[in-house]
Amino acid sequence: MPALTFLKIAVVTTRVLACSLMLACSPAAATDAIVAARQASMKKMAAAARTIAEMFDGKRAYDAAGFKLAAATLSARTGPALITEFPEGSLGAPSGARPEIDQARPEFEALARHIGRLADSLAAKAEEAPAEITSDMRMGTGIPMDGGSLLGKRPNAPQADPAKLPAEHLLHLILQDCTSCHSKFRQKVE
């Protein structure tokens, strides 16, 4: 079994087990634990994305092993693992997750799965990462940006096969989806 698949299974299994154990606690304690775990996971995803972005921007020295680890982190924490982090009853205050996630659950889950497919493709490319950033890893010109904007994706916009996109472009699409998800489903908590 590939190491990345094993990591994803381990992350999902750990989260399901933790949620099951928390149900034995009081509902408030369970919610607090779920929110804390979710926030920690989001911070790890943000750090991984920042690491890759800084490598492509030249703000951090490129390191193939670091790129691989960061891409694997994104892959392991998106898709089904991301969906698992937002169970019913853990939304709204004290969390930054809007309760509207449950009302738009199919949209939320489709977005989480899309981010997961992009992150999986990025991780697959990172598995074969060369010793330095090559031109075929760069975004280049003429690559469609997936029809997105700050307001979300245009309906019926053509979707490129993630496996055929350069690593830098995949990162930009992941960040675009994160921004879209946060704009729809995240609230500022004080």
Pick the CATH number of 3-185 from 3.40.50.970, 1.20.120.10, 1.10.357.10, 3.20.20.70: 1.20.120.10
Q: What is the pLDDT, as a whole number, of residue 88?
A: 87
Q: 64-103 pLDDT, tens per residue?
A: 999 999 999 999 999 999 999 999 888 988 889 999 999 9
Domain boundaries defined on the chain: 3-185
Asked if the model's pLDDT at residue 21 lies above 60, the reply is: no
| 171 and 49 Cβ atoms separated by less than 8 Å | yes
Per-residue confidence band for 58, with pLDDT thresholds at 50, 70 and 90: very high
Is this model's pTM higher than 0.95 or not?
A: no
Residue whose entry in the numeric block shows the structure tokens 């911070």: 43
The model's pLDDT over 98-128, given as tens digits with 9 standing for 90+, comes to 999 999 999 999 999 999 999 999 999 999 9
**CA-based angle 123:124:126, to the nearest 5?**
60
